[in-house]
Amino acid sequence: MQPHNLNIEYQQLPTIKLPLANKFYRAVNARGKASGGDIVWVARERANNVIIAVARLAPIKGFQLLTGVYVAPNYRQQGIASQLINKLIVPNQGCYSFALTHLADFYINLGFEMVTNQQLPCELAQRFNAYQHQGRDIIAMIYR
C-alpha cells in the first residue's frame, strides 16, 4: 500500500517524547493530545525524520481506547493509518474506538466491530455520550 518512494518508520514514542505527538496534532490542526498514560505510536518519513501520523491508546478505567488517529493530509490513502493501528492494537485486549461515522468501513476492515452505547463499559459510555453531545458524528467500535 505504501508508494515505493516513501520509506516509513513506525515506532512507539517513549513518554518523554509525547510532546512530539502533540506538536504534530497542533501543526495539522487535529483534535487530540497525548498524555502520560497513553501508548503513542508515530509514523515518520525516514528521509526527513518528520512525523506524518500519530495514533494513541488511552487507558480508561481498565479499558483501552484507540484515539487520536491522524495522518497528515499529503500522506493519506497510502495504508499508513492501517499500519499504525495494527502496530498499536493488541488482540484479545478489548480495545474500543469512537470512530468517525464515515470511517466505519475502514475500521471494520481492520477487524473492529460496531457496538451499541449500551454495550460500552460505563466510563466509556459516558465519554461517548459527551462526545456525541458535542456534535461529533461518531460510532462506538471494539477490536476483540
CATH of the domain at 102: 3.40.630.30
pLDDT value at position 31? Answer: 84
Residue in the structure block whose three cell numbers are 494513541: 56
| Residue 58 within a domain | yes
Indicate whether 122 pLDDT > 50.
yes
Handedness of CA 134, 31, 13, 53 (dihedral sign): positive
Buried b (16+ CB within 10 A) or exposed e, 72-100: beebeebbbbebbbeebbeeeeebbbbbe
| Residue 120 within a domain | yes
pTM of the model: 0.89
| Residue 3 within a domain | no
pLDDT value at position 125? Answer: 96
| Residue 97 within a domain | yes
Query: Domain span at residue 116?
Result: 8-143
| Residue 105 within a domain | yes
| Residue 42 within a domain | yes
| Residue 119 within a domain | yes
pLDDT value at position 93? Answer: 75
Q: How many structural domains are present in the chain?
A: 1
| Residue 64 within a domain | yes
Which pLDDT tens digit goes with each residue over 46-81? 989 999 999 999 999 889 999 999 999 999 999 999
